[in-house]
Chains A and B, each alone.
Chain A
Amino acid sequence: MNMSLLLNWKRLVVVTTAGLLGLSARAADAPDGTEFFEKKIRPLLAEHCIECHAIGKKTKGGLALDSREGWMKGGDSGPALVPGDLETSRLITAVRYQDKEFRMPPKRKLTDAQIADFEQWVKLGAPDPRTGGTTLSKKEINIAEGRKHWAYQLPKAQTPPAVQDAAWPRTDVDRFLLAKLEAKSLHPSPDAEPAALARRLYFDLVGLPPTPEQVDAFVRDYQSATGNRQSAIAKLVDSLLASPHFGERWGRHWLDVVRYAESLTLRGFVMKEAWRYRDYVINSFNADKPYDRFLREQVAGDLLPNGSVAERQQQLVATGFLTLGNTNLEEQQKKLLDMDVVDEQLDTIGKAFLAQTIGCARCHDHKFDPIPTRDYYALAGILKSSKTLEHSNVSKWLEFPLPLPSGEDKQYVEHDKAVAKLTASIKTAKESANKAVAKKATLPSGALDAKVLAGVVVDDAQAKKVGDWTGSRSTKTFIGDGYLHDDNQGKGAKSLTFQPEGLKAGKYDVRLAYSPGKSRADNVPVTIFSAEGEKVVRVDERPDPPIEGRFVSLGQFRFEQNSAGFVLVATEGTKGVVTADAVQFVPVGQIAEPSGTADAAKKDKPDTTESVKKMEAELKKLQESGPKRPMFMSVKEDNAGDTQVHIRGSVQNLGAKVPRGFLQVASYGPAPVIPEKESGRRELGEWLTSRENPLTARVFVNRAWTWLFGTGLVRSPDNFGATGDVPTHPELLDHLAVRFMAEGWSVKKLVRELVLSRAYQQASVAADVRRLQPPQTSDPRPQTQASQSLLTSAATGQEIDPENKLFWHANRRKLDAEAIRDTVLQVSGQLDLAQGGPVLKPGTSADYGYKHTDSRRSVYSPVLRNSLPELFEAFDFADPSLVVGKRSDSTVAPQALFMMNHPWVMEQSQSAAKKLLAEPLADDRARIARAYRLVLGRLPTDGEVTIALKFLPADSAASEAAKRADAWGRFYQALFASVDFRYLN
């Protein structure tokens, strides 16, 4: 029996006893009690409660109020009432509307008299003659029973089955597939033509098309190796696996799965260090990092032992995985926000690593899978034991300095020192300049004209006053005509709002000028309302203001163009006089105000002296060119401990504490023990990658299969639960999973094994294949005219297995957004193959309207949640807020509009044309052929040549060069827009 059950059971005993006591106590007046129930309570229940709380009706929250047994047993939150005890009876607190989260009836509060009736009833011991009612029996999840589902059984080593056509299979993978085909009297399709195979391999392994020369080389190799074509294929595969572009292609697959992005929807916050995680992923795939280690690093890299600083860096950056969720940092209920973050992490870990929808168990036991709420909170406790956000009005993710090899951080220390020194000099120089100007400008009365001050100044005269404020000039230092004070009266009812007009977007040092003195308040609440949210700063107005004897800095804040930002000085909770003189907004990082203002006063403005200007320029240069201390995003061990069940997912309604742990249904043998003072993330990593975890290896080999074959052995790659698909080839899935683990979780070995299967190398066939020829599967000769030889088998296949679940042919697949973009750039000669590093333009503070202008490979295009590259959006890029194991596959008009009209497509087409026309080719026919090979990887048909020649201006001196280039550009555009470019055979 688990803890929560035990607790319920105990409660039930207590309630029952109380009930009995109540019964005996009121035995004498039982008739009265029953009468009271019949007269007052039954109608109340009937009219206001039963609609949602009765067996056979809605039974919301698991609570039935149509019988005595119903309320005694209670709902998800425990018994509805305790006879005789008003304060612990939830029914009473609910009808009293005491708790905002828990008010009944929800639509309208009962009248006071009705509430009094309920109270009286409970006081009476809750007499209720409606006995013998049924209660909702909660279905308990039976873990042992649940374990029977295929996905929770440990994968077993499998012997490849015997097949009739022994000549066809090249690998064990083939044998598993062929056995199933033969059982249905189906045959595999012939081998793909070598050129098509080369194109498929290039796109699948490195995400780029082969050049015509690369295709030719492979075809030559393939055709000369008559005895052993497989060796020619293996040679190509090995060279592609060794290519640094392999990690770019496969890393991107992984980034789909882990909802990788570089900004948050909320306010377009840019996570400028996220790229390190992207590079970590790419490097891991390139280095063939064992997948088990890869996962452990992502959930607990900060807690793992490490050999070198470089290794430590990698492991730390890996944990960025936990921080990439698209979180609404503005949620005001921070407890809820914490649980939302945990939920997002769990949901991602569940789907990405385990193909489990764990998130479903946050509010109730999983409806379909054997995941009790208890398991959810066992896992939640682990994640809750690390801090992911620093809370404030708008919370913030955490960044830490990357550890560096000893000595290497010297440059940063020195740089920081230099910056600090210069900043201090500027400050001093400015202050003395300011003081000088202020002194010069200060009238004998003590007044200083606000106009001479830097930035935007809102004087107290312009402030919006609430309540009585008294103007004064008693203290002789003030701005404008004096300052205001609250007379130390009417505390809490007064305020001053300083609203700057025409503030330009940017960061400002916000300063308050006040009039100091012994009688002043020491804790004046000053609220700064900026683009970063609102922040309350307490100002002690007794000492002299530290800046120029007038101002105190309230901090630096970002304001938007014409924003609604303001500063509010309040008096609530203050003892002593509150004063306010002015609020100054001084731009940060701006060298000087733009000159040319006619305002004479501006001339006298401080901060514009030559020396300050010079120093500021120097500082700017230093900051821009100087070394930037590398930072990384991560979480931090914090407050390790178990978490309570949140009943119905509510942070207000906590149940039993659950020891940290893992999914019971997917655990075999003893679970790793979590040290009391640690989060347990390291143990989570161990559990995830244990050989005794039935899910992890299966889920990944299925993902790899999906990425290579277009559909998975399990067609729901992110859901292996009861609502997901069952494997079409369970033995093959097991075989691959067991081998994957046995081979040291090597992704490259797995990929190699899959692409070297003959199944992968089959020809793809069009949807309508009825007219095609039958294959001759045991014929070792190359099937150069594959499409001619598919007839009867294809017809049968189409009939028996139209969805190709048995993989009797290769799937024709769409090129994804990245492949489209990279190919266009490669053909146009614009592709920049540089690897790694930050790509986001420096100084990007929000992602709104970001202009993607780089020509790096698409995997490096900043993934900005409010501003994805347009091509990505049009062509089904993975939603960067969700776990995406398989992308959408749409054909929609916006894609056509993009290809027809987007300037980028037209520009690239023009570049491609220029490049083509510069090539030493004999004539237009040769050029057309070249263009076809570059874009589509094949030669044009006669019909295509005819159409092209008709469109292109004749290759004669008469046609002007510019016009000719333009036409060739448009021709390229048509190729990019063509069906054959969109599909990979």
Chain B
Amino acid sequence: MEQSLPGAAHSILKAGHRTSRRAFTDKATAVGVTVGGIMVFVALLLIFFYLLYVVKPIFDSAEVEPVTEVSYQQTQSKALMVGSDEQNEILYRVADSGLVEFFRAVDGKSLGEFKPTLPAGVTVTSAAVATAAEQKYALGLSDGSVLLVKVDFGVTYPDNVRLITPRLRYPEGQQPMAVTKDGSEVRDLSFGYASDKMTFSYRDSNGNWAITRMSGEENMLTEEVEWVSEHETIPDTPRQVTQQLMTPDQRQLLLHSGNRIFVYDIRYLDEISLMQVIEVKEPNTSITNISLLAGASSVLVSFDDGRVAQYFQVASDKGRLYREIRDFNAGGQVAAIAPEFFRKSFVTITPEGELSLHYTTSERDLFDKTFDLKDTKIMGFSPRASALVVDAGEKLHLFRVENDHPEVSWSALWQKVWYEGYPEPQYVWQSTSGSDDFEAKLSLMPLVFGTMKAAFYAMLFAVPLAIAGAVYTAYFMSPKVRGFVKPTVEIMEALPTVILGFLAGLWLAPLVEENLPGMVLLLILLPLTILATAVIWQVLPAAIKLKLPEEFKELFLVPILCLVGWAAFEFSPVLELWLFDGDTRQYITNELGITFDQRNALVVGIAMGFAVIPTIFSIAEDAVFSVPRHLSNGSLALGATPWQTLTRVVLLTASPGIFSAVMMGLGRAVGETMIVLMATGNTPIMEWSVFEGMRTLAANIAVEMPESAIGSTHYRVLFLAAFVLFVFTFCFNTLAEVVRQRLRERYSSL
């Protein structure tokens, strides 16, 4: 085909083919380059949205939805507790007769009834449950003894499939332990249990409240625990008691009587005393229920108007007394309330079936919805708080609960929070601790404060130096010297901050600590020296001036200042001896009462100021230098001195540029990590003192991120910290850039 064409046509066709290919390449390049360019924007958006995506779940509210329901047999007896195993596969209901029914959640099939065997002729006269996490209950018997029972689940893996078998366990044996002194029946039981100590409170045959404490001691020979009992009657008890609670640490007994709660100190049986009587202040409300929150430091008090208040002990001048800390609205009178096993969440339900989920510390109302549940008697969380079992209408209802991050709320992050055991609401950042029942305290305020403090001291040091230096370099310096000075200062910007941090922490911090008087002296001497040099230069005879190289006039200061600096440090110990008895640090701590950390804000200010100087210097210098010459020349021609020209004309014109330089510097100081990490003690305190350290957002991320678990609240809060940093610096940088672009336009019109 091609051979048959004449030569010319052939070449035209070929050229046409090539042209179209060239056009295609051209087009493809244009598209490719555009996509590449937009990718930069996408990268920024990606960072922004990814951070948001990780942060978002902590502000999501909880989800509770019904899964299944199971009918139980023991409809005639009241439930003592309900719950499930860790995997939410098996539900259980403990009746107050001590009988336990187990059901498979999937199909509602009964897995059997378990009843603790009691001695012949003995009946259950009262029953009590321990805290939710223990899954234990105790049966008070007619012969004055008590039997402890634990609901337990065994997990085995036959054929690599998980099999969960329910069972009952008896922590102190199947034989009931004699509790009452005279063998009379146990009434109104409550108990606390530990492997070496048990305490039971009950009403004895005379109707008095009594306590029996059993202390276990291991027999050296048989290695069996032998229990020794003590009995004591509680004085001053109310006549009508509707509910009794013992704290799991066996130190306090709470009796609910009418509208009052009596708190007894039962730590030592021979010193039982009434610690406090909690009374309801509001008229027309009465207490309907009391229960313990997870960790057992807080008491949740429900009122008949639907209010649930959290009480915990706060140190006061009368000792540690219960105080109402905060309250929640259950939406109506509380029919049942259940705390989670480990976190400070609790769930309430009204007789009409309005279920609401709250978290105490963060004061969050996580969930509120009315379900078709009439007359709920009792509820219980599953151990991992991923399910809720509700006993209502002769059925067990299983709800799936999704409540991953209740402990964080906007207010808990930024406002003072009253934590258990604290004397007052405070800003606290304390994400981890050695103990198990520790509640993470995630207030971002101390970190933001630390960030501000570090940035403030750094700017205090850097801004005057950098701007003054920039003005001089741009306006007064000879081009030759400028050509050397500017890159030298700018090379500082490239210096790794890890090196600045290392020097600050290991060289500067001890140096400052040793030579505090010298540092102060330096602060006074340096400006004085510069002024003195200026005076001397002024009065220097012209003959000598001519001999000195005029171009390098400004560099004369370098050796002079070095000399003064050296002298100040040499003189420092002498001064110290003179004024502070030879030890300034001791003096500051003991005489002035100021806490002094070796790695403090002063060191950080100097070191980070150092890192920020080149940023500010470089941009400010450009701004001053690019002020059009005809402006300053005009001013000078009109008779203004160089200084007047500088302050009235040049600086005014360049001020937006200098502002943007400061913003850029601030952005850098806020986000700097390594210097703060190495030059402070990283304690999250909120003190402006220059002699104390701080913990910044950035350093905190660097310290805690590697050890936080993916997806945990802590992990997401750290992402939030990063997001806050991102937004901070985004604002500073965008502002600076917009100002700079405006300035550029203005210059071009000038």
Q: Do A and B come from one complex?
A: no
Interface residues of B (CB under 8 A from A): none
